[in-house]
Amino acid sequence: MNRAKHIAIIMDGNGRWAELQGKKRVKGHEAGAKVVKNITTYCSNSKDIERLTLYAFSTENWKRPRLEVEFLMKLLEKYLKNELPVYLENNVRFEPIGDIRAFSKSLQKTIKMVEEKTAHCDGLVQSLALNYGSQNEIIRAVNSLKNTKEDITETMLSNALDCKHDVDLLIRTGGDHRLSNYLLWQAAYAELFFTDALWPDFTPSDLEKIIKKFNKVERRFGGLK
């Protein structure tokens, strides 16, 4: 039976969820933040799940309306400060991925603070992909290796990436069927699951059902078995 040791999720549908209820898009992001807490807590209590990587803010999300981007930055900082006790209580280590240099000094400080204060936790590792795009990640990794005199190997490139762990199970909520520049290298042999549920409606029960389906998949990794 498979083990979903590393689960990655594209958390899509916050804005649409709010619009369907006649609310401002920001209300969807607030509801989505609560789901992040619920899903992270569920995963922290699983003996099989070791890593949970969540697509929180992409390199392309800067194209959104300025007020929405500003709200997302404030929401992220508030979320991290509020969730620090939850991380510690559930023995969750926080490891951000992405290029956070584009964020405000205050937000960068909060991100690093939570990372440092949870560094001793040895349970679930939760990564938020922040100002993250897989193409950007790969380019930065290649640039870090460009002065290497030997031929670059898969292992060398993998170790130079923000996320150094292969994904077992990649889930996208919201009904779309694309990867949106997310963990393209790490998800080379991930099992992909798509659900029409918008992220604020996604529950631990939904995740559990997907994991049960994943457990039954025959993973061949390019071979016959």
Helix (H, G, I), strand (E, B) or coil at 12: coil
Strand partners, 94: 126
> CA-to-CA distance for 111 and 128, rounded, in angstroms?
10
Q: Are 181 and 8 in contact (CB under 8 A)?
A: no
Helix intervals (H) in the chain: 14-20, 25-44, 66-89, 105-117, 134-145, 154-160, 204-215
Instruction: Judge whether 186 and 167 are in contact, CB under 8 Å.
Output: yes
Catalytic residues: 12, 61
Torsion angle, alpha carbons of 64, 70, 72, 78, to 10 = 180
Single-letter amino acid, residue 138: I
